[in-house]
Structure 1
Amino acid sequence: MMPSFFVAHGAPLLAIENNSYTQAMHQISSLLPRRPRAIVMFSAHWEAFDQMVGTMETFPTIHDFGGFPQELYEIQYPAKGDQQIADETVQLLRDAGVPVTVNTTRGLDHGHWVVLRHIFPDADIPVVALSVNPNLTVAQQYMIGKALSPLREKDVLIIGSGGTVHNFSYIDMRETQGRAFEWALEFEEWLHQSLSGWKVDDLARYRELAPHAEKAVPAYGSEHFVPLLYVMGAADDERTAKRLHMSFRYGSLSHTIWQFGEAK
């Protein structure tokens, strides 16, 4: 049985940095019970109304950002697809009543490859790319993840890539020492208690219950938060959650890693 993971992808610069957070990402593969057969991955940077399932023979690398060092634009992460796992993913979602569209043209955006190149730098694990829909309810997002839970029994690793505190309006580019705004820390502490206690009902009301939710998860940026809910749902059969890492950048950009379910 594979656990599922939420991994914040932060700023694209993480792709070429060596710090406490990138080192923590490197450790994820050592927590797995065995080499994954494939990775099914939700990215905050692929938003769609219907649930999209991306499959290709080899995914192109999308450099969906601007103003960064040239080195970033030269990175390639040529992960292959897995048609059988993609087909099983589609069927599981349809069986759960989720509208699904198969995409055979879109590559991996930086929400995918910034994370993956730290966990599996050789791009040698097949990938199935999944979109997110921030307009769904928390219950619906959780249910989509729950529908995919059987994949974990087939050595498929399910990852959600986004950010639990992600607000560009409060970013302080001068803050490079890892300090965070007090409101960001308070939100992360509430989230820690809610996830560790598997309080799905509270999470469904996080906008009214969580302190400073309007700052941590702005209405215009909730797509970064929702991958957490998908991968949490994928571990509904076990209902165990562990925060493996938390650090900050620019005061209002959190780097968190969450593991849901146990490695067996």
Structure 2
Amino acid sequence: MMPSFFIAHGAPLLAIENNAYTEALNQLPGLLPRKPRAIVIFSAHWEAYDQMVGTMDTFPTIHDFGGFPQALYEIEYPAKGEREVADETIRLLQEAGIPVALNTTRGLDHGHWVVLRHIYPDADIPVVALSVNPNLTVKEQYQIGKALSPLRAKDVLILGSGGTVHNFSYMDLRESDSNTFEWAEQFEDWLQTTLTDWNVEDLANYRELAPHAEKAVPAYGTEHFVSLVYVMGAADDERTAKRLHMSIRYGSLSHTLWQFGDAK
């Protein structure tokens, strides 16, 4: 049985950085019981009304950002698609009554490849790309993840790429690793307790219950937070959560790595 993971993709620069967080990502394959057959990954940067499931023979790399060093635009992550796993993903969603569609034209955005190149730098694991819908309720997002839980027993690694504290209005880009805002830490502390207790009810009401939720997850940017909900739902059959890493960059940009379920 594969665990599922939430992985913060941070700023695009993370793709070429070496720090404690990228080291934690480098070590993630060692936490798995075996090499995955495929990776199913939700990206905060692919929003769609219906659940989209993407596969291609080889995914092109989308550089969906601007104003960064040229080295970032030269990165390619030529992951192969996996049509059989994509079809199985669609079947599971359809059986759960979830509107779903196949996409065979969209490449991997930086929410996908920034984290994947740290975990599997050789792009040697086939990928199925998934969209997110921030307009759904937390419970609906959780149910989508839950519908995909059977994939974990078929050696499919389910990942969610986004950010738990992600608000450009409060980031201090002059500061890299120091002067963390207290409110950001308080939100992460609340989230750690809520997820570890598997309190889906409180999570569904995080806007009212979590300290500084309006700063951590701005109303205009919930897509980064909801990736976590999908992959938590994928481990509903075990309901174990473990925060493997947490650090904060630029005052308030969280680098968090969460494992849901156990490796078996």
| 1:199-238 matched pairs, under 5 angstroms | 199-238=199-238
> In the alignment, which residue of structure 2 is the partner of 1:136?
136
Contact 1:164 1:256 in 2 (8 A): yes
Alpha-carbon distance between aligned partners in 1 of 2:180 and 2:166, rounded to the nearest angstrom:
12
Alpha-carbon distance between aligned partners in 2 of 1:238 and 1:178, rounded to the nearest angstrom:
36
Task: Return the offset for 1:75.
Answer: 0.3
Task: Return the offset for 1:178.
Answer: 3.8
> In the alignment, which residue of structure 2 is the partner of 1:174?
174
> Tell me, which stretches of 5 or more residues in structure 2 are unaligned?
none
SS of structure 1 residue aligned to 2:86: helix
| 1:1-264 matched pairs, under 5 angstroms | 1-264=1-264
Alpha-carbon distance between aligned partners in 2 of 1:209 and 1:17, rounded to the nearest angstrom:
34
Alpha-carbon distance between aligned partners in 1 of 2:6 and 2:167, rounded to the nearest angstrom:
18
Task: Return the offset for 1:10.
Answer: 0.2
Task: Return the offset for 1:173.
Answer: 1.3
Contact 1:178 1:247 in 2 (8 A): no
Alpha-carbon distance between aligned partners in 2 of 1:178 and 1:148, rounded to the nearest angstrom:
39
Alpha-carbon distance between aligned partners in 1 of 2:176 and 2:154, rounded to the nearest angstrom:
41
Q: Cα RMSD (Å) of the superposition?
A: 0.5
Task: Return the offset for 1:179.
Answer: 3.5
- Report the residue type matching 1:212 in the other structure: H
Alpha-carbon distance between aligned partners in 1 of 2:208 and 2:6, rounded to the nearest angstrom:
23
Alpha-carbon distance between aligned partners in 1 of 2:180 and 2:202, rounded to the nearest angstrom:
24
Q: Percent of pairs identical after alignment?
A: 79
Alpha-carbon distance between aligned partners in 1 of 2:52 and 2:157, rounded to the nearest angstrom:
18
Contact 1:249 1:255 in 2 (8 A): yes
1:182-214 Cα shifts (integer Å, max 9, x gaps): 100000000000000000000000000000000
Task: Return the offset for 1:101.
Answer: 1.1
> Tell me, which stretches of 5 or more residues in structure 1 are unaligned?
none
1:228-264 Cα shifts (integer Å, max 9, x gaps): 0000000000000000000011111000000000000
Contact 1:179 1:248 in 2 (8 A): no
Alpha-carbon distance between aligned partners in 2 of 1:231 and 1:211, rounded to the nearest angstrom:
23
Return structure 1 stretches of 4+ with deviation > 6 angstroms: none
Task: Return the offset for 1:174.
Answer: 1.7
1:12-60 Cα shifts (integer Å, max 9, x gaps): 0010011111111101111000000000000000000000000101000
Alpha-carbon distance between aligned partners in 1 of 2:30 and 2:249, rounded to the nearest angstrom:
25
Alpha-carbon distance between aligned partners in 2 of 1:117 and 1:179, rounded to the nearest angstrom:
29
Alpha-carbon distance between aligned partners in 2 of 1:229 and 1:173, rounded to the nearest angstrom:
28
Alpha-carbon distance between aligned partners in 2 of 1:255 and 1:73, rounded to the nearest angstrom:
22
Alpha-carbon distance between aligned partners in 2 of 1:143 and 1:12, rounded to the nearest angstrom:
30
- Report the residue type matching 2:153 in the other structure: E
SS of structure 2 residue aligned to 1:102: strand
- Report the residue type matching 1:18 in the other structure: N
Count of residues paired in the alignment: 264
Task: Return the offset for 1:177.
Answer: 2.5
Contact 1:143 1:230 in 2 (8 A): yes
Alpha-carbon distance between aligned partners in 2 of 1:146 and 1:99, rounded to the nearest angstrom:
15
Alpha-carbon distance between aligned partners in 2 of 1:134 and 1:81, rounded to the nearest angstrom:
25
Q: Which shifted more, 28-37 or 172-181?
A: 172-181
Alpha-carbon distance between aligned partners in 1 of 2:55 and 2:49, rounded to the nearest angstrom:
18
Contact 1:8 1:162 in 2 (8 A): yes
